[in-house]
Structure 1
Protein backbone atom coordinates (compact mmCIF):
# COMPACT_ATOMS: atom_id res chain seq x y z
CA UNK A 1 0.00 0.00 0.00
CA UNK A 2 2.87 2.36 0.73
CA UNK A 3 4.25 1.96 -2.79
CA UNK A 4 0.96 2.77 -4.50
CA UNK A 5 0.56 6.27 -5.96
CA UNK A 6 -2.76 8.02 -5.98
CA UNK A 7 -3.70 9.55 -9.36
CA UNK A 8 -5.29 12.97 -8.79
CA UNK A 9 -5.50 13.75 -12.53
CA UNK A 10 -8.88 15.09 -13.47
CA UNK A 11 -9.95 15.96 -9.93
CA UNK A 12 -9.69 19.68 -10.67
CA UNK A 13 -12.53 19.30 -13.22
CA UNK A 14 -14.66 17.09 -10.94
CA UNK A 15 -18.10 18.52 -10.17
CA UNK A 16 -18.92 17.45 -6.61
CA UNK A 17 -22.49 18.78 -6.86
CA UNK A 18 -23.24 16.73 -9.99
CA UNK A 19 -21.07 13.61 -9.86
CA UNK A 20 -20.83 11.63 -13.10
CA UNK A 21 -22.73 8.41 -13.57
CA UNK A 22 -21.88 5.35 -15.61
CA UNK A 23 -18.47 4.52 -16.95
CA UNK A 24 -16.26 7.43 -15.88
CA UNK A 25 -13.28 6.29 -17.94
CA UNK A 26 -15.39 6.05 -21.12
CA UNK A 27 -16.73 9.57 -20.59
CA UNK A 28 -13.21 10.89 -20.06
CA UNK A 29 -11.97 9.27 -23.27
CA UNK A 30 -14.94 10.66 -25.23
CA UNK A 31 -14.26 14.18 -23.94
CA UNK A 32 -10.59 13.91 -24.88
CA UNK A 33 -11.47 12.63 -28.36
CA UNK A 34 -13.86 15.54 -28.96
CA UNK A 35 -11.24 18.08 -27.89
CA UNK A 36 -8.64 16.59 -30.22
CA UNK A 37 -11.11 16.52 -33.11
CA UNK A 38 -12.00 20.17 -32.55
CA UNK A 39 -8.36 21.14 -32.49
CA UNK A 40 -7.72 19.37 -35.78
CA UNK A 41 -10.62 21.05 -37.56
CA UNK A 42 -9.92 24.61 -36.34
CA UNK A 43 -7.14 26.66 -37.87
CA UNK A 44 -5.01 28.94 -35.73
CA UNK A 45 -6.50 32.39 -35.32
CA UNK A 46 -3.70 34.13 -37.18
CA UNK A 47 -3.35 31.52 -39.91
CA UNK A 48 -3.88 32.68 -43.49
CA UNK A 49 -5.59 29.36 -44.26
CA UNK A 50 -8.71 30.85 -42.70
CA UNK A 51 -9.41 32.93 -45.81
CA UNK A 52 -10.63 29.77 -47.53
CA UNK A 53 -13.38 29.25 -44.95
CA UNK A 54 -16.74 31.01 -44.95
CA UNK A 55 -16.51 31.56 -41.19
CA UNK A 56 -13.53 33.83 -41.76
CA UNK A 57 -15.66 36.37 -43.67
CA UNK A 58 -18.71 36.03 -41.45
CA UNK A 59 -17.16 38.30 -38.83
CA UNK A 60 -16.88 41.13 -41.38
CA UNK A 61 -20.66 41.20 -41.75
CA UNK A 62 -21.35 41.02 -38.02
CA UNK A 63 -22.28 44.65 -37.46
CA UNK A 64 -25.32 46.40 -36.00
CA UNK A 65 -27.47 49.05 -37.66
CA UNK A 66 -26.31 51.71 -35.21
CA UNK A 67 -22.68 50.93 -35.99
CA UNK A 68 -23.32 51.21 -39.73
CA UNK A 69 -25.11 54.55 -39.32
CA UNK A 70 -22.31 55.86 -37.12
CA UNK A 71 -19.73 54.87 -39.70
CA UNK A 72 -21.73 56.43 -42.53
CA UNK A 73 -21.79 59.70 -40.59
CA UNK A 74 -18.03 59.42 -40.08
CA UNK A 75 -17.63 58.80 -43.81
CA UNK A 76 -19.38 62.09 -44.61
CA UNK A 77 -18.24 64.39 -41.80
CA UNK A 78 -14.47 64.27 -41.22
CA UNK A 79 -14.55 66.09 -37.89
CA UNK A 80 -15.03 65.36 -34.99
CA UNK A 81 -15.27 61.77 -36.23
CA UNK A 82 -12.28 59.76 -37.36
CA UNK A 83 -13.37 56.91 -39.58
CA UNK A 84 -10.15 54.91 -39.29
CA UNK A 85 -10.28 54.94 -35.48
CA UNK A 86 -13.94 53.91 -35.47
CA UNK A 87 -13.49 50.90 -37.75
CA UNK A 88 -10.05 49.82 -36.52
CA UNK A 89 -11.34 47.42 -33.87
CA UNK A 90 -14.12 45.88 -35.98
CA UNK A 91 -13.85 46.43 -39.76
CA UNK A 92 -16.87 45.33 -41.77
CA UNK A 93 -17.71 44.75 -45.41
CA UNK A 94 -21.48 45.00 -45.02
CA UNK A 95 -21.56 48.80 -45.10
CA UNK A 96 -19.07 49.28 -47.96
CA UNK A 97 -20.83 46.71 -50.15
CA UNK A 98 -24.27 48.29 -49.82
CA UNK A 99 -22.97 51.86 -49.92
CA UNK A 100 -21.32 51.21 -53.28
CA UNK A 101 -24.40 49.42 -54.58
CA UNK A 102 -26.63 52.29 -53.44
CA UNK A 103 -24.31 54.78 -55.12
CA UNK A 104 -24.60 52.89 -58.40
CA UNK A 105 -28.40 52.90 -58.18
CA UNK A 106 -28.76 56.58 -57.20
CA UNK A 107 -26.33 57.71 -59.90
CA UNK A 108 -28.03 55.68 -62.63
CA UNK A 109 -31.52 56.67 -61.48
CA UNK A 110 -30.79 60.38 -61.10
CA UNK A 111 -28.85 60.51 -64.36
CA UNK A 112 -31.65 58.90 -66.37
CA UNK A 113 -34.32 61.07 -64.75
CA UNK A 114 -32.24 64.15 -65.53
CA UNK A 115 -31.89 63.13 -69.18
CA UNK A 116 -35.60 62.33 -69.42
CA UNK A 117 -36.73 65.77 -68.22
CA UNK A 118 -34.05 67.73 -70.06
CA UNK A 119 -35.82 67.27 -73.40
CA UNK A 120 -32.55 67.92 -75.21
CA UNK A 121 -32.11 64.41 -76.55
CA UNK A 122 -34.29 61.38 -77.12
CA UNK A 123 -34.31 59.50 -73.83
CA UNK A 124 -33.31 55.86 -73.85
CA UNK A 125 -32.17 53.65 -70.99
CA UNK A 126 -28.76 52.07 -71.55
CA UNK A 127 -28.20 49.13 -69.23
CA UNK A 128 -24.55 48.82 -70.23
CA UNK A 129 -23.88 52.20 -68.61
CA UNK A 130 -25.02 50.78 -65.28
CA UNK A 131 -22.63 47.84 -65.71
CA UNK A 132 -19.75 50.21 -66.50
CA UNK A 133 -20.56 52.36 -63.48
CA UNK A 134 -20.86 49.30 -61.22
CA UNK A 135 -17.51 47.96 -62.41
CA UNK A 136 -15.72 51.29 -61.98
CA UNK A 137 -16.96 51.85 -58.42
CA UNK A 138 -16.17 48.37 -57.14
CA UNK A 139 -12.80 48.22 -58.89
CA UNK A 140 -11.89 51.58 -57.38
CA UNK A 141 -12.97 50.71 -53.83
CA UNK A 142 -11.16 47.35 -53.96
CA UNK A 143 -8.02 47.94 -55.99
CA UNK A 144 -6.96 51.24 -54.43
CA UNK A 145 -7.08 49.94 -50.83
CA UNK A 146 -5.22 46.87 -52.05
CA UNK A 147 -2.55 49.08 -53.61
CA UNK A 148 -2.19 51.22 -50.48
CA UNK A 149 -1.94 48.13 -48.30
CA UNK A 150 0.77 46.75 -50.57
CA UNK A 151 2.64 50.06 -50.31
CA UNK A 152 2.42 49.94 -46.52
CA UNK A 153 3.77 46.40 -46.45
CA UNK A 154 6.56 47.24 -48.89
CA UNK A 155 7.55 50.35 -46.93
CA UNK A 156 7.15 48.47 -43.63
CA UNK A 157 5.03 51.29 -42.26
CA UNK A 158 4.65 51.22 -38.49
CA UNK A 159 1.09 50.76 -37.27
CA UNK A 160 -0.19 50.08 -40.77
CA UNK A 161 -3.82 49.20 -41.35
CA UNK A 162 -4.96 45.77 -42.39
CA UNK A 163 -6.41 45.26 -45.86
CA UNK A 164 -9.94 44.93 -44.47
CA UNK A 165 -9.57 48.16 -42.49
CA UNK A 166 -8.63 50.00 -45.69
CA UNK A 167 -11.53 48.41 -47.58
CA UNK A 168 -13.87 49.56 -44.82
CA UNK A 169 -12.52 53.11 -44.82
CA UNK A 170 -12.78 53.45 -48.60
CA UNK A 171 -16.25 51.94 -48.71
CA UNK A 172 -17.68 54.29 -46.11
CA UNK A 173 -15.90 57.30 -47.63
CA UNK A 174 -18.15 56.90 -50.70
CA UNK A 175 -21.18 57.80 -48.55
CA UNK A 176 -20.84 61.52 -49.33
CA UNK A 177 -21.51 60.91 -53.03
CA UNK A 178 -24.96 59.37 -52.50
CA UNK A 179 -26.77 62.61 -51.51
CA UNK A 180 -24.69 64.38 -54.16
CA UNK A 181 -26.13 62.27 -56.98
CA UNK A 182 -29.66 62.90 -55.71
CA UNK A 183 -29.11 66.67 -55.54
CA UNK A 184 -27.80 66.58 -59.10
CA UNK A 185 -31.42 66.23 -60.19
CA UNK A 186 -31.52 70.03 -59.89
CA UNK A 187 -30.77 71.09 -63.45
CA UNK A 188 -28.49 74.01 -62.60
CA UNK A 189 -25.00 73.36 -63.87
CA UNK A 190 -23.24 75.81 -61.55
CA UNK A 191 -24.98 74.28 -58.53
CA UNK A 192 -23.98 70.79 -59.63
CA UNK A 193 -20.32 71.76 -59.78
CA UNK A 194 -20.53 73.48 -56.39
CA UNK A 195 -22.07 70.38 -54.80
CA UNK A 196 -19.40 68.24 -56.45
CA UNK A 197 -16.61 70.34 -54.94
CA UNK A 198 -18.20 70.13 -51.48
CA UNK A 199 -18.59 66.33 -51.70
CA UNK A 200 -14.99 65.87 -52.87
CA UNK A 201 -13.74 68.09 -50.04
CA UNK A 202 -15.69 66.16 -47.38
CA UNK A 203 -14.96 62.67 -48.66
CA UNK A 204 -11.35 63.49 -49.48
CA UNK A 205 -10.83 64.89 -45.98
CA UNK A 206 -12.15 61.66 -44.48
CA UNK A 207 -9.60 59.65 -46.45
CA UNK A 208 -6.63 61.93 -45.80
CA UNK A 209 -7.32 62.17 -42.06
CA UNK A 210 -7.64 58.39 -41.87
CA UNK A 211 -4.51 57.61 -43.89
CA UNK A 212 -2.40 60.36 -42.39
CA UNK A 213 -2.31 58.53 -39.06
CA UNK A 214 -0.28 55.81 -40.76
CA UNK A 215 1.79 57.73 -43.30
CA UNK A 216 2.77 60.62 -41.04
CA UNK A 217 5.76 58.60 -39.81
CA UNK A 218 7.06 58.30 -43.36
CA UNK A 219 9.28 60.88 -45.04
CA UNK A 220 7.64 64.16 -45.95
CA UNK A 221 7.87 63.56 -49.70
CA UNK A 222 6.33 60.09 -49.49
CA UNK A 223 3.50 61.29 -47.25
CA UNK A 224 2.62 64.26 -49.47
CA UNK A 225 2.77 62.21 -52.67
CA UNK A 226 0.49 59.52 -51.24
CA UNK A 227 -2.03 62.06 -49.89
CA UNK A 228 -2.05 63.98 -53.18
CA UNK A 229 -2.48 60.78 -55.17
CA UNK A 230 -5.39 59.68 -52.97
CA UNK A 231 -7.20 63.03 -53.24
CA UNK A 232 -6.70 63.39 -57.00
CA UNK A 233 -7.89 59.86 -57.71
CA UNK A 234 -10.89 60.36 -55.42
CA UNK A 235 -11.75 63.61 -57.19
CA UNK A 236 -11.31 61.89 -60.54
CA UNK A 237 -13.86 59.19 -59.77
CA UNK A 238 -16.38 61.83 -58.64
CA UNK A 239 -15.85 63.96 -61.74
CA UNK A 240 -16.27 60.79 -63.77
CA UNK A 241 -19.78 60.42 -62.32
CA UNK A 242 -20.55 63.96 -63.44
CA UNK A 243 -19.46 63.55 -67.05
CA UNK A 244 -20.73 60.02 -67.44
CA UNK A 245 -24.32 60.61 -66.31
CA UNK A 246 -24.79 64.35 -65.84
CA UNK A 247 -22.88 65.91 -68.71
CA UNK A 248 -24.25 69.18 -70.01
CA UNK A 249 -25.77 68.60 -73.43
CA UNK A 250 -25.69 71.52 -75.84
CA UNK A 251 -27.82 71.36 -78.94
CA UNK A 252 -29.08 73.66 -81.70
CA UNK A 253 -32.76 73.12 -82.37
CA UNK A 254 -33.79 73.10 -86.03
CA UNK A 255 -35.70 76.24 -86.97
CA UNK A 256 -39.08 75.55 -88.57
CA UNK A 257 -39.46 76.50 -92.23
CA UNK A 258 -42.19 79.08 -92.84
CA UNK A 259 -44.34 79.51 -95.93
CA UNK A 260 -42.85 82.95 -96.60
CA UNK A 261 -39.34 81.54 -96.68
CA UNK A 262 -40.39 78.85 -99.16
CA UNK A 263 -42.04 81.42 -101.46
CA UNK A 264 -39.00 83.68 -101.44
CA UNK A 265 -36.70 80.76 -102.25
CA UNK A 266 -38.88 79.67 -105.19
CA UNK A 267 -39.05 83.22 -106.56
CA UNK A 268 -35.27 83.60 -106.45
CA UNK A 269 -34.88 80.24 -108.17
CA UNK A 270 -37.31 81.27 -110.98
CA UNK A 271 -35.53 84.58 -111.58
CA UNK A 272 -32.19 82.79 -111.76
CA UNK A 273 -33.51 80.33 -114.35
CA UNK A 274 -35.01 83.13 -116.48
CA UNK A 275 -31.76 85.08 -116.44
CA UNK A 276 -29.81 82.05 -117.55
CA UNK A 277 -32.27 81.40 -120.40
CA UNK A 278 -32.02 84.99 -121.73
CA UNK A 279 -28.24 84.80 -121.63
CA UNK A 280 -28.31 81.73 -123.87
CA UNK A 281 -30.47 83.50 -126.49
Structure 2
Protein backbone atom coordinates (compact mmCIF):
# COMPACT_ATOMS: atom_id res chain seq x y z
CA UNK A 1 0.00 0.00 0.00
CA UNK A 2 1.33 3.36 -0.99
CA UNK A 3 1.48 6.17 1.59
CA UNK A 4 -0.58 9.23 0.81
CA UNK A 5 1.28 12.40 -0.15
CA UNK A 6 0.04 14.05 3.06
CA UNK A 7 1.56 11.32 5.24
CA UNK A 8 4.75 11.37 3.20
CA UNK A 9 5.11 15.08 3.87
CA UNK A 10 4.62 14.49 7.61
CA UNK A 11 7.32 11.84 7.61
CA UNK A 12 9.74 13.91 5.55
CA UNK A 13 13.11 14.77 7.12
CA UNK A 14 13.70 17.69 4.79
CA UNK A 15 13.39 20.07 7.77
CA UNK A 16 16.43 19.84 10.09
CA UNK A 17 15.64 18.44 13.52
CA UNK A 18 17.53 21.28 15.23
CA UNK A 19 15.04 23.75 13.78
CA UNK A 20 12.47 22.61 16.35
CA UNK A 21 12.67 25.02 19.31
CA UNK A 22 13.46 23.55 22.72
CA UNK A 23 10.50 23.52 25.10
CA UNK A 24 10.41 24.15 28.83
CA UNK A 25 10.36 20.98 30.93
CA UNK A 26 6.77 19.77 31.32
CA UNK A 27 7.15 18.72 34.96
CA UNK A 28 7.96 20.49 38.23
CA UNK A 29 11.64 21.39 38.42
CA UNK A 30 14.02 24.04 39.70
CA UNK A 31 14.68 26.66 37.06
CA UNK A 32 18.09 28.28 37.49
CA UNK A 33 18.00 31.87 36.28
CA UNK A 34 21.23 33.54 35.18
CA UNK A 35 21.88 36.41 32.79
CA UNK A 36 22.69 35.73 29.14
CA UNK A 37 23.62 38.24 26.40
CA UNK A 38 20.88 38.78 23.83
CA UNK A 39 23.22 37.90 20.96
CA UNK A 40 23.45 34.29 22.11
CA UNK A 41 27.05 34.51 23.34
CA UNK A 42 28.17 33.57 26.85
CA UNK A 43 29.50 35.90 29.50
CA UNK A 44 31.73 33.59 31.49
CA UNK A 45 30.99 35.10 34.90
CA UNK A 46 27.24 34.72 34.55
CA UNK A 47 27.56 31.27 32.98
CA UNK A 48 29.52 30.13 36.03
CA UNK A 49 26.16 30.07 37.84
CA UNK A 50 25.10 27.05 35.80
CA UNK A 51 28.55 25.47 36.13
CA UNK A 52 28.75 25.81 39.91
CA UNK A 53 25.14 24.83 40.65
CA UNK A 54 25.35 21.82 38.31
CA UNK A 55 28.57 20.60 39.97
CA UNK A 56 27.30 21.07 43.53
CA UNK A 57 24.17 19.14 42.58
CA UNK A 58 26.12 16.35 40.87
CA UNK A 59 28.29 15.96 43.96
CA UNK A 60 25.04 15.35 45.86
CA UNK A 61 23.59 12.93 43.30
CA UNK A 62 21.18 15.38 41.72
CA UNK A 63 20.85 17.19 38.41
CA UNK A 64 19.24 20.45 37.33
CA UNK A 65 16.85 18.76 34.95
CA UNK A 66 14.98 16.44 37.27
CA UNK A 67 11.46 16.38 38.64
CA UNK A 68 10.96 18.05 42.00
CA UNK A 69 8.08 18.37 44.46
CA UNK A 70 7.46 21.99 43.54
CA UNK A 71 8.24 24.33 40.68
CA UNK A 72 10.79 26.88 41.91
CA UNK A 73 13.20 29.43 40.49
CA UNK A 74 16.67 29.84 41.90
CA UNK A 75 19.15 32.68 41.33
CA UNK A 76 22.84 32.09 41.92
CA UNK A 77 25.81 34.00 40.53
CA UNK A 78 25.31 37.51 39.19
CA UNK A 79 23.83 40.93 39.89
CA UNK A 80 20.41 39.53 39.05
CA UNK A 81 18.21 40.04 42.09
CA UNK A 82 16.02 42.53 40.21
CA UNK A 83 14.90 39.61 38.04
CA UNK A 84 13.60 37.71 41.08
CA UNK A 85 9.89 37.12 41.68
CA UNK A 86 8.07 36.36 44.92
CA UNK A 87 9.30 33.18 46.66
CA UNK A 88 12.34 32.74 44.40
CA UNK A 89 15.42 31.26 46.07
CA UNK A 90 18.63 33.31 46.33
CA UNK A 91 22.04 31.67 46.77
CA UNK A 92 24.95 34.09 46.39
CA UNK A 93 23.28 36.62 44.09
CA UNK A 94 23.73 40.36 44.38
CA UNK A 95 21.94 43.61 43.70
CA UNK A 96 22.79 45.50 40.51
CA UNK A 97 23.60 49.09 41.42
CA UNK A 98 22.54 50.30 37.97
CA UNK A 99 18.95 49.11 38.41
CA UNK A 100 16.35 51.40 39.97
CA UNK A 101 14.74 50.29 43.24
CA UNK A 102 11.32 50.36 41.55
CA UNK A 103 12.35 47.51 39.27
CA UNK A 104 12.63 45.16 42.24
CA UNK A 105 9.01 44.00 42.24
CA UNK A 106 9.21 41.12 44.74
CA UNK A 107 7.93 41.36 48.30
CA UNK A 108 9.20 38.03 49.65
CA UNK A 109 12.21 35.87 48.82
CA UNK A 110 13.74 32.65 50.17
CA UNK A 111 17.30 33.86 50.78
CA UNK A 112 20.02 31.33 51.67
CA UNK A 113 23.11 33.48 50.98
CA UNK A 114 23.98 36.73 49.23
CA UNK A 115 27.10 38.14 47.61
CA UNK A 116 27.79 40.67 50.34
CA UNK A 117 26.46 42.95 53.10
CA UNK A 118 25.28 45.70 50.75
CA UNK A 119 22.88 43.28 49.09
CA UNK A 120 21.83 41.98 52.51
CA UNK A 121 21.05 45.51 53.71
CA UNK A 122 19.10 46.29 50.54
CA UNK A 123 16.87 43.25 51.05
CA UNK A 124 16.48 43.77 54.78
CA UNK A 125 15.31 47.32 54.10
CA UNK A 126 12.46 45.73 52.15
CA UNK A 127 11.56 43.49 55.10
CA UNK A 128 13.14 40.33 53.70
CA UNK A 129 15.06 38.10 56.16
CA UNK A 130 18.64 37.47 55.00
CA UNK A 131 21.15 35.23 56.81
CA UNK A 132 24.64 36.62 57.31
CA UNK A 133 26.15 34.19 54.80
CA UNK A 134 28.26 35.89 52.16
CA UNK A 135 30.22 34.98 49.06
CA UNK A 136 30.01 34.80 45.30
CA UNK A 137 29.65 31.08 44.48
CA UNK A 138 32.41 31.39 41.84
CA UNK A 139 34.80 31.41 44.82
CA UNK A 140 33.93 27.73 45.23
CA UNK A 141 35.66 26.59 42.04
CA UNK A 142 38.85 25.31 43.74
CA UNK A 143 36.70 23.43 46.27
CA UNK A 144 34.24 21.75 43.89
CA UNK A 145 36.78 21.09 41.11
CA UNK A 146 39.78 19.95 43.19
CA UNK A 147 42.80 19.50 40.95
CA UNK A 148 40.95 20.50 37.77
CA UNK A 149 42.49 23.97 37.50
CA UNK A 150 45.99 24.86 38.71
CA UNK A 151 48.07 28.00 38.71
CA UNK A 152 50.52 27.95 35.82
CA UNK A 153 52.23 31.36 35.79
CA UNK A 154 53.44 32.15 32.28
CA UNK A 155 52.65 35.86 32.01
CA UNK A 156 53.45 38.85 34.18
CA UNK A 157 49.81 39.93 33.98
CA UNK A 158 46.54 39.43 32.11
CA UNK A 159 43.66 41.85 31.54
CA UNK A 160 40.06 40.63 31.89
CA UNK A 161 37.57 43.27 30.72
CA UNK A 162 33.94 43.44 31.67
CA UNK A 163 31.69 42.55 28.73
CA UNK A 164 30.77 46.22 28.28
CA UNK A 165 34.45 47.21 28.12
CA UNK A 166 35.39 44.85 25.28
CA UNK A 167 35.19 47.48 22.54
CA UNK A 168 37.27 50.08 24.34
CA UNK A 169 39.87 47.49 25.33
CA UNK A 170 40.26 46.52 21.67
CA UNK A 171 40.96 50.14 20.75
CA UNK A 172 43.63 50.35 23.47
CA UNK A 173 45.45 47.34 21.98
CA UNK A 174 46.41 45.99 25.36
CA UNK A 175 48.52 42.90 25.87
CA UNK A 176 47.28 39.60 27.29
CA UNK A 177 43.55 40.34 27.10
CA UNK A 178 41.16 37.52 28.05
CA UNK A 179 37.75 37.96 26.46
CA UNK A 180 34.87 37.22 28.87
CA UNK A 181 32.89 35.60 26.04
CA UNK A 182 35.32 32.69 25.76
CA UNK A 183 34.27 29.38 27.29
CA UNK A 184 34.18 29.48 31.07
CA UNK A 185 36.89 26.84 31.42
CA UNK A 186 39.17 28.66 28.96
CA UNK A 187 38.73 31.92 30.90
CA UNK A 188 39.67 30.17 34.14
CA UNK A 189 42.69 28.47 32.57
CA UNK A 190 43.93 31.70 31.00
CA UNK A 191 43.51 33.65 34.25
CA UNK A 192 45.60 31.04 36.05
CA UNK A 193 48.47 31.64 33.63
CA UNK A 194 49.01 35.09 35.15
CA UNK A 195 51.14 36.25 38.04
CA UNK A 196 48.82 39.25 38.41
CA UNK A 197 45.26 39.87 37.18
CA UNK A 198 43.97 43.28 36.12
CA UNK A 199 40.23 43.17 35.57
CA UNK A 200 37.12 45.25 35.15
CA UNK A 201 35.24 41.95 35.03
CA UNK A 202 34.14 41.20 38.59
CA UNK A 203 34.55 37.50 37.95
CA UNK A 204 37.99 38.07 36.54
CA UNK A 205 38.87 39.39 39.99
CA UNK A 206 36.97 36.64 41.80
CA UNK A 207 38.55 33.74 39.92
CA UNK A 208 42.01 35.21 40.44
CA UNK A 209 41.42 35.61 44.17
CA UNK A 210 39.83 32.16 44.49
CA UNK A 211 43.15 30.69 43.37
CA UNK A 212 45.37 33.04 45.35
CA UNK A 213 46.47 35.29 42.48
CA UNK A 214 46.74 39.01 43.35
CA UNK A 215 44.24 41.14 41.45
CA UNK A 216 43.42 44.79 40.87
CA UNK A 217 40.22 46.39 39.63
CA UNK A 218 40.73 48.59 36.58
CA UNK A 219 38.03 51.08 35.62
CA UNK A 220 38.04 51.62 31.85
CA UNK A 221 34.63 53.36 31.73
CA UNK A 222 31.87 54.56 34.05
CA UNK A 223 29.44 51.91 32.75
CA UNK A 224 29.58 49.62 35.77
CA UNK A 225 28.28 50.85 39.12
CA UNK A 226 30.73 50.32 41.99
CA UNK A 227 28.03 48.66 44.09
CA UNK A 228 28.80 45.08 43.02
CA UNK A 229 32.55 45.46 43.53
CA UNK A 230 32.06 46.96 47.00
CA UNK A 231 29.49 44.30 47.85
CA UNK A 232 31.91 41.51 46.90
CA UNK A 233 34.86 43.05 48.73
CA UNK A 234 32.87 43.74 51.88
CA UNK A 235 31.46 40.21 51.76
CA UNK A 236 35.01 38.89 51.84
CA UNK A 237 36.21 40.94 54.79
CA UNK A 238 37.49 44.09 53.12
CA UNK A 239 36.49 47.72 52.58
CA UNK A 240 35.45 49.68 49.51
CA UNK A 241 37.22 48.95 46.25
CA UNK A 242 40.13 51.04 45.02
CA UNK A 243 40.74 51.09 41.30
CA UNK A 244 43.29 51.90 38.64
CA UNK A 245 42.51 53.65 35.38
CA UNK A 246 45.38 52.19 33.36
CA UNK A 247 47.41 48.99 33.22
CA UNK A 248 50.53 50.83 34.37
CA UNK A 249 48.68 52.24 37.37
CA UNK A 250 47.31 48.80 38.22
CA UNK A 251 50.80 47.29 38.11
CA UNK A 252 52.00 50.03 40.43
CA UNK A 253 49.07 49.58 42.85
CA UNK A 254 49.45 45.82 43.13
CA UNK A 255 46.82 43.40 44.35
CA UNK A 256 43.98 43.90 46.80
CA UNK A 257 44.16 42.46 50.29
CA UNK A 258 43.46 38.73 50.29
CA UNK A 259 39.80 37.73 50.68
CA UNK A 260 38.41 36.09 53.81
CA UNK A 261 35.99 33.40 52.70
CA UNK A 262 34.39 30.36 54.35
CA UNK A 263 33.60 27.90 51.56
CA UNK A 264 31.94 25.51 54.00
CA UNK A 265 29.33 28.07 55.10
CA UNK A 266 28.36 28.91 51.53
CA UNK A 267 28.17 25.23 50.53
CA UNK A 268 26.11 24.42 53.61
CA UNK A 269 23.69 27.17 52.57
CA UNK A 270 23.10 25.57 49.16
CA UNK A 271 19.32 24.90 48.81
CA UNK A 272 19.59 21.14 48.21
CA UNK A 273 16.18 20.76 49.87
CA UNK A 274 14.59 22.04 46.65
CA UNK A 275 15.62 18.79 44.94
CA UNK A 276 14.98 16.35 47.78
CA UNK A 277 11.58 14.67 47.81
Provide TM-score, normalisation by structure 2.
0.23
Higher helix residue share: 1
Q: Give the number of the structure with larger relative contact order, counting CA–CA contacts within 8 Å between residues 6 or more apart.
A: 1
Higher strand residue share: 2
For the pair shown, the structure with the greater C-alpha radius of gyration is 1
Provide TM-score, normalisation by structure 1.
0.23
